[in-house]
Amino acid sequence: LVLGFTFKENCPDVRNTKVIDIVRELEGYNTNVSVYDPWAEPQEVLHEYGLKTTKDFNDIKDKKYEAIILTVSHDDFLNLDINSLKNVNAVLYDVKGFLKKEDVDARL
């Protein structure tokens, strides 16, 4: 699960987002990549990048993920119970250094 797709936090702009590079790299390993971003318009992302995303938490809330990568530090993610989305042995990677250090497995 990739959390965030927009160019920057708390902004709906998906132009020039670098998150697409992360998604494409993960897809290159034949993984199923889900992208949740409450700010990005799914139709715009699909049109610009050919990628299906969701902005509706209900689409992901009942699923468990092996890996979660936080790529954009939206304020919405502070209230998100990320642990409820994790599989038993899941890895949580924080690209932005946004989450508490003790809550993540790795960060930049």
82-107 tens-digit pLDDT: 999 999 999 999 999 999 888 899 88
Give the DSSP H or E segment for 26.
helix 19-27
Question: What is the reported pTM?
Answer: 0.94
Q: According to the 3-state scheme, what is the secondary structure of 51-105?
A: CCCECCHHHCCCCCEEEEEECCCCHHHHHCCHHHHEEEEEEEEECCCCCCHHHCC
10-51 tens-digit pLDDT: 999 999 999 999 999 999 999 999 999 999 999 999 999 999
State the burial class of residue 71 (Cβ atoms within 10 Å of its Cβ: 0-12, 13-18, 19+). buried
Q: Which DSSP category does 17 fall into?
A: -
Per-residue pLDDT, 105: 92
Owning domain of residue 43: 2-107
**4 in Cβ contact with 20 (< 8 Å):** no
CA-based nearest residue to 5, from 70, 50, 79: 70
Number of domains forming the structure of the chain: 1
Residue 56, pLDDT > 90, answer yes
CATH number of the structural domain spanning residue 71: 3.40.50.720
Per-residue pLDDT, 107: 83
Neighbouring CB atoms inside 10 A of 10's CB total 12
Q: What does the angle CA 45 – CA 9 – CA 82 come to, to the nearest 5 degrees?
A: 85
